[in-house]
Structure 1
Amino acid sequence: MTRKDEQAGQAAPAGAASAEAVEPVTAEWTRHAAEGVLLDGFHALKHALRFGARVPVAVTTDRLAVRELAQSLAPDLLDVLDGLLREVPETTLRGLVPRAHPTGVAALALRPSAPGWGGDGDGVPGPGAGTQEGAPLVVLDNPRNLGNVGAVVRLAAGAGAAGVLTTGDLDPWHPAAVRAGAGLHFAVPVARRQVGRLPRRPLLAFDPEGDDLRSVPLPPGAMLAFGSERHGLTDALRARADHLVALPMRPQVSSYNLATSVAMALYHWMARPS
């Protein structure tokens, strides 16, 4: 028997997915790819599942490694992940996503529709599960950096904000924003609205010329609006604002990072006397 014959007769490595097993997984991925939300990595999938995302397809290059990770970081999801994840070769994963995550996990989730979030009478999502009554709604006015948008979504989810709205042309559900948000777009309502369609709530807009935030009471359910780091608030948002407020800042420092500004404002709300 030649060496070639010996190699042909060798068994496939344990756990390796056959072409027949991979084909229906890739077909399901293709079916949902156009409208699905890419969950890039274990932590994004973990968060999305915890907050009720509908995930029709999820893949990994190593089911055993993911199970060990889940036992440590998400034991509450072990059974769900066991039933959901399908193992594929690394070459298949690289063909499905623009950049394979180090955890070797990727999934597609169905983007929630606005009517499913509830609302306050104007088609804008109301407070989600786990959100305190009167929680503020974060508004990002014409943001330009998708990574910042995702970071703000992550902050809003952790702080229990009522949601995140963006104005302008960037989609807050862009894959780069979802990646930066670590799957927490499913933990808090996230949508895009133009200034004229913002909900009917008090709007406090952050501007260096505004009143010190520490001296301004936050109305229940207020919107907290932040301009882009380079250009600040748009004229339309400034005209819509009920009050201009400013974050305390050392003289000669020009600005904070957008996500830092949102974190400071949300902490001010969280630290208010009960």
Structure 2
Amino acid sequence: MSDEAEQAAETARAWREAAAADGTVLLDGFHALKHALRFGAEVRLAVAEDPDAVLALAAELAPDVAGAVRALLRRAPLGGLVTRVHPTRVAALAVRPDPAAARSALHRMPRRAPVVLLDDPRNLGNVGAVVRLAAGFGATGVVTRGDLDPWHPNVVRAGAGLHYATAVDRVTLESLPPGPLYALDPEGEDIRALTLPDDAVLAFGSERQGLSAELRERADRLVSLPMRRQVSSYNLATSVAMTLFHWGGPPAEDA
């Protein structure tokens, strides 16, 4: 076996060992790796079929983390390590943040930015898109109710590694973060007439069923988004984006 083949085999063994450990998160593609590093993720290993191409991408798009990418990268074929190879042909394994730390951030008051609550979401890609939005707007975090894992690999993929930029957790009705609960509902008050407080919990129903009866009952206010007649609904991520835009986003010094 050549030195290169032996090194690739050793990298594959290290990958499988790390992937089998509890709390391991797959970072699928360069942008997921870039964002995870920017927001303090503990990355165990990064693998690329062509490390030079990935380093060139880092130099062009993310020079702030290029040194960290260089230190982590190992060469190996990705086909046997991940189920679907990202177009940037790089993947990494990181440590999931301590759930207790996320819960502490979500429950800490006073709060400078809302928490987004997804009530029994069904689509993994939608949840990832919401995490990405929440990170961009500087929301305190994203929490989900129901059986969908907000740290599922497909959610992390859709979130482009930005789970590390905001608090992400699964909650029950009894463990909701504190703060006034503003629930999006077609029968609610027009959002344009309201000011959303920084400490709000902004609740969005599932893609098919909308808000659950118990969460609707729990809400302090029901809020509606403007919508043309005969249009039935918005995509979940679109609804979250419109609501966070109305809230106002992070302070200028954080933007």
Tell me if TM exceeds 0.5.
Answer: yes
CA distance in 1, matches of 2:102, 2:37: 16
Letter of the structure 2 residue corresponding to residue 252 of structure 1: Q
- Give 1:68's aligned residue: 56
> What is the DSSP-based 3-state SS (H/G/I as helix, E as strand, rest coil) of the residue aligned with 1:53?
coil
Provide TM-score, normalisation by structure 2. 0.92
CA distance in 1, matches of 2:152, 2:230: 35
- Give 2:101's aligned residue: 116
The answer to whether the aligner puts 1:148 opposite 2:126 as a matched pair is: yes
State the shift of 1:86 in Å. 0.2
CA separation of 1:203/1:99 partners in 2, compared to 1, >3 Å: closer, same or farther? same
Q: What is the CA deviation profile of residues 204-263 of structure 1, one whole-angstrom value per residue up to 9, with x for unaligned ones?
A: 000000000111222231000000121100112112111101001111111000000000
> What is the DSSP-based 3-state SS (H/G/I as helix, E as strand, rest coil) of the residue aligned with 2:104?
coil
What runs of 5+ residues in structure 2 fail to find an aligned partner? none
The answer to whether the aligner puts 1:22 opposite 2:22 as a matched pair is: no
- Give 1:103's aligned residue: 88
> What is the DSSP-based 3-state SS (H/G/I as helix, E as strand, rest coil) of the residue aligned with 1:256?
coil
CA contact (8 A) 1:37 1:108 kept: yes
- Give 2:151's aligned residue: 173
Q: What is the CA deviation profile of residues 61-97 of structure 1, one whole-angstrom value per residue up to 9, with x for unaligned ones?
A: 0011111111110111121111100011x3xx11110
CA distance in 1, matches of 2:98, 2:250: 33
CA distance in 1, matches of 2:34, 2:228: 39
Aligned alpha-carbon RMSD (Å): 2.2
> What is the DSSP-based 3-state SS (H/G/I as helix, E as strand, rest coil) of the residue aligned with 1:39?
strand
Provide TM-score, normalisation by structure 1. 0.86
What runs of 5+ residues in structure 1 fail to find an aligned partner? 1-7
- Give 1:253's aligned residue: 231
Q: What is the CA deviation profile of residues 165-202 of structure 1, one whole-angstrom value per residue up to 9, with x for unaligned ones?
A: 00000000101111100110111110000122102211
Greater length-normalized contact order (CA 8 Å, ≥ 6 residues apart): 2
Identity %, equivalent residues:
59
Question: Following superposition of structure 1 onto structure 2, how do residues 1-274 of structure 1 map, counting pairs within 5 Å?
Answer: 18-34=4-20, 35=22, 36-88=24-76, 90=77, 93-117=78-102, 119=104, 124=106, 126=108, 133-270=111-248
CA contact (8 A) 2:129 2:237 kept: yes
Larger Rg: 1
State the shift of 1:29 in Å. 1.4
Q: What is the CA deviation profile of residues 101-140 of structure 1, one whole-angstrom value per residue up to 9, with x for unaligned ones?
A: 11110011100012334726xxx4559xxxx952010000
CA distance in 2, matches of 1:83, 1:251: 55
